[in-house]
Structure 1
Amino acid sequence: MRISHILKALAATAVLCVGTAQAQVSVMLPANPGGGWDATGRQAFQALNQAGIYTGTVNFSNRGGAGGTIGLAEFQRAQKGKADALAVFGAITVGAITLNHSPVELDKFAPIARLTAEYLVLAVKADSPYATLADFAEALKRDPGGTPVGGGSAGGVDHIALALLAQSAGASVPALNYIPQAGGADTVTGIVNGTLKAGISGISEFRQFADSGRIRILGITTAERMKGLESVPTFKEAGYDVEIANWRGILGAVDMPEANRQEWVERFTRLNDSEAWRAVLARQGWDDYFLAGDAFGAFIQAESERINQVLKDAGLAEQ
């Protein structure tokens, strides 16, 4: 073989090796740019890069709509069997699959890692007659239809939290007057002008309005009181068995090779222990809610069963 042919062969081999080392990862972000899922995916891979855990190419795709089910349905269909195809999703997706009659099957995906959580708070107008969460729960029990509550999309985590509170308080879940809002600011406007008796949303949506005195937070869905909100009791402290978070995590493609799944579980485990990710959590105001691999898969199954039962009890899904 001529030397020139040998050099060409070696060059082709080198290109192939470089291409393999820098295999492109596809990440489905089943929401529009700028939202929580979008930020979770992009910030996680930026931190993976900064920590030197994964420094290859990442191709992000945004497909918003229907609580993430449009993007995940595309991901389920198009990325089956792929070694390096991942998707971001969260608590909202679980109920959205049922409510939208989506073909998405969460148990078919490869569970990689649960990353973050944002807990929920229930707030009322600053001069509301409801001084405590117990006062508000009694109003729900006495007149659920006459106690309108605003929050995110129907069947979403805000709605689920309210239904769980009603269940625990002995109020009629199907009779709840839950009014979905376009965003946290709209919910606050409704609380202040009196069209809503209360609102329920993530801490980040309400905190600035509580700090400015426009609304008053009555309870939080954490297991223990939260740092920075020590004066706010948990739902459980107030006597209601409610603990729920708007969590977000990472799934691998349907039929992802097991070796690749384990590699991504290990990468995200290392990410969770990195200073780069600690900085992201602090900057974004996200809570660490890490759970990896099969344990995350078991969590998804348990959450699906719990949330779907609440949707049935609320009359939003068939029994």
Structure 2
Amino acid sequence: MPSPTRPQAFHTGTTRFSRRQLLLGGIAALLELPGLAGAANAATAAPAAARQKIASRLRIVIPANAGGGWDQTGRALGEALLASGAADAVDYENMGGKGGTIGLAHYVQQYGNQPDTLLIGGMVMAGAIALQKPAVNLSAVQPLARLTSDYIVVAVPKDSPIRSAKDLTAALRSDPRSLTMAGGSAGSVDHMFAGLLIRAAKAAPDQLSYLPFAGGKDVVNALLQGKAQLGLSGYSEFSEALRSGQLRAIGISSRRSVFGLPTFKEQGVDADMANWRAVFTGKGVSAARAQELLQAVEQATLQESWLRALRSNRWDSALQSGKDLREFLELEQTTASVMTYLLKLKS
């Protein structure tokens, strides 16, 4: 994954935009609107002397349904925190809906001052906030660490006539309304990438037929039940259905081929996008306690259980914290706002 401190390129149609160009152009457009990885080395586990118990019981709030990427991330982190000795027990609380904004508001109201409660979030939440403009946003929590990054797989049922990115763009150009795309919540990274695909096909963004779901398992079910013709989700959420042959992958949103899947760029569709996931704590938690939590998370990412989760879920480790993370999140939130406007995404 490219360093978050470098300009990152987005592709629309045959034109390549750097993130800086996209933001400058998009921000100018927005102003016209009224009212408007330093990853841990995987070779060794944390030294025993560095391990420190920070709580008898920790809680991890996961603002998504069970089985999706955030759920997998939160539970893998919890297992690693236990393995590192940071806590004796970890409780998990799932609350899905609206790209994580329902769970975010719940977390802020119930646990904003709780020193033993963590929140999982990511780019999906930034996109949902840009789209929905809820009363509670990421300014109501404090970031501890970015954890992982992965990419969007576009898949179809096994008997679909769409077999390549070329087939997909042709179908979108011909009749975009007839091709329902299922993905994460409205405004999510899946939704944004769907918008990029329809623009790459030179179809009008407002012709996008998008069916949002709170979790990756729901996306798989929508494809298998014929409710959607195209699905967008992370590789880990599609992997079982892909291995069984129930679904077939058309491409992946990375810049280079991964998991043996061709990128859209390799197939002549100039569109790519990365996803990321992070862990937060409450705004009312003291700086000293936030630092303790961060150290516990960093030690957790050295545990074998965490490294195993990275391998099995095909996640890239993307550990980042402090000032670099705050600046990264500011850029991502601005990017989400601009993309939502330029792609004319609707909730």
Question: Do structure 1's residue 47 and structure 2's residue 80 form an aligned pair?
Answer: yes
Deviations 1:166-187 (A, max 9, x none): 2344332111122346713333
Displacement of 1:106? 0.6
Contact 1:25/1:85 (<8 A) preserved: yes
Displacement of 1:225? 1.4
Question: Do structure 1's residue 28 and structure 2's residue 58 form an aligned pair?
Answer: no
| Partner Cα distance (1:162, 1:197) in 2 | 13
| Partner Cα distance (2:137, 2:312) in 1 | 33
221, 245, 252: which one aligns with 1:186? 221
Alignment-mate amino acid for residue 191 of structure 2: H
| Partner Cα distance (1:200, 1:300) in 2 | 23
- Identity, % of aligned pairs? 33
Equivalent residue, structure 1, for 2:122: 90
SS in 2 for 1:165: helix
SS in 2 for 1:124: strand
Alignment-mate amino acid for residue 185 of structure 1: V
Deviations 1:145-191 (A, max 9, x none): 2333233333333222111222344332111122346713333325x
Equivalent residue, structure 1, for 2:168: 136
Equivalent residue, structure 2, for 1:278: 307
* Long gaps (5+) in structure 2: 1-52
Contact 1:137/1:166 (<8 A) preserved: yes
Alignment-mate amino acid for residue 304 of structure 1: Q
| Partner Cα distance (2:100, 2:234) in 1 | 18
Report the TM-score, using the length of structure 2 for normalisation: 0.71
* Larger displacement relative to structure 2 (264-273 or 281-290): 281-290
* Larger displacement relative to structure 2 (130-139 or 77-86): 77-86
Q: 1:136 to 1:284 in 2, by over 3 A?
A: closer
Aligned ranges 1:238-317 → 2 under 5 Å: 238=267, 239-245=269-275, 247-317=276-346
Equivalent residue, structure 2, for 1:121: 153
| Partner Cα distance (2:242, 2:93) in 1 | 36
Displacement of 1:217? 1.6
| Partner Cα distance (2:289, 2:124) in 1 | 27
Contact 1:47/1:271 (<8 A) preserved: yes
Alignment-mate amino acid for residue 217 of structure 1: A
Contact 1:123/1:216 (<8 A) preserved: yes
Equivalent residue, structure 1, for 2:13: none
SS in 2 for 1:249: strand
CA RMSD of aligned residues (A): 3.1
Report the TM-score, using the length of structure 1 for normalisation: 0.76
Aligned ranges 1:136-285 → 2 under 5 Å: 136-180=168-212, 183-189=218-224, 196-226=228-258, 229-230=259-260, 232-238=261-267, 239-245=269-275, 247-285=276-314
Deviations 1:6-51 (A, max 9, x none): xxxxxxxxxxxxxx96465443333355554344323312212212
* Larger displacement relative to structure 2 (211-220 or 21-30): 21-30
Q: 1:145 to 1:51 in 2, by over 3 A?
A: same
SS in 2 for 1:248: strand
| Partner Cα distance (2:105, 2:307) in 1 | 32
Contact 1:165/1:242 (<8 A) preserved: no
| Partner Cα distance (2:111, 2:246) in 1 | 47
Alignment-mate amino acid for residue 110 of structure 1: Q
Alignment-mate amino acid for residue 196 of structure 2: L
Alignment-mate amino acid for residue 303 of structure 2: S
SS in 2 for 1:145: helix
Larger RCO, structures 1/2 (Cα 8 Å, 6+ apart): 2
Alignment-mate amino acid for residue 272 of structure 2: V
Q: 1:294 to 1:58 in 2, by over 3 A?
A: farther
* Long gaps (5+) in structure 1: 1-19
SS in 1 for 2:206: coil
| Partner Cα distance (2:249, 2:93) in 1 | 37
Which has the larger Rg?
Answer: 1
Q: 1:244 to 1:34 in 2, by over 3 A?
A: closer
Alignment-mate amino acid for residue 310 of structure 1: M
SS in 1 for 2:203: coil
* Larger displacement relative to structure 2 (42-51 or 128-137): 128-137
